[in-house]
């Protein structure tokens, strides 16, 4: 099961970080595999972009927060064959906030082991994308009114 953990800082307060990472209607935008999100009875549906959809064999994942504590969110996004499990944590660091992402991805589909091998190679780029999007939203864009 591919997994990765990273830490980085943003020029934003912990309240803004919590507002972003706790809004699962917008969190999908932080990951390159997802195109959009909509509210669903059991959480949020994160719709996959076409190349990722073909690799994963899933049209969408159902994302939900499993546990929320001050400075931490434990979450999952699942389909019948694909499971993303993650933790977001954040702490104030003077005029910045340190964000920690821990992400595990497991594919139980027919080509799951091949897809997981590909994901292992792609995870560093996924983390760079996540960091870039977090900085873009928290440091330069007003994201409260929606995403592009």
Q: What pTM does this model have?
A: 0.85
Tell me, letter by letter, the H, E, C secondary structure of 49-90: CHHHHHHHCCCEEEEEEEEEECCEEEEEEECCCEEEEEEEEE
Domains defined for the chain, CATH in brackets: 3-140 (3.30.530.20)
Angstrom CA distances, 53 to 7, 11, 98, 105, 113, stand at 28, 33, 31, 14, 16
Dihedral sign computed on CA atoms, order 110, 111, 113, 116: negative
Q: Which residues contact 118 (CB under 8 A, 6 or more apart)?
A: 55
pLDDT at 148 over 50: no
The number of CA neighbours under 13 Å toward the Cβ of 125 is 7
pLDDT tens across 115-137, in order? Answer: 566 666 677 888 999 999 999 99
pLDDT band at 53 (very low <50, low <70, confident <90, very high): low
Cα of 50 vs its chain's centroid, Å? 18
Angle (nearest 5°) at CA 38 between 35 and 42: 125
């Amino acid at each position: 099961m591919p997994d990765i953990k990273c830490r980085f800082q943003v020029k934003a307060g912990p309240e803004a970080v919590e507002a972003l990472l706790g809004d699962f209607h917008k969190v999908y935008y932080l990951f390159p595999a997802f195109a959009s999100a909509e509210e669903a009875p059991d959480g949020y549906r994160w719709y996959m972009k076409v190349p990722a959809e073909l690799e994963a064999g899933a049209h969408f994942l159902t994302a939900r927060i499993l546990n929320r504590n001050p400075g931490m969110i434990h979450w999952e996004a699942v389909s019948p064959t694909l499971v993303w499990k993650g933790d977001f944590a954040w702490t104030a660091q003077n005029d910045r906030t340190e964000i920690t992402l821990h992400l595990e991805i497991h594919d139980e589909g027919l080509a799951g082991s091949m897809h997981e091998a590909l994901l292992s190679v792609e995870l560093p780029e996924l983390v760079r994308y996540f960091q870039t999007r977090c900085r873009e939203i928290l440091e330069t864009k007003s994201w409260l009114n929606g995403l592009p």
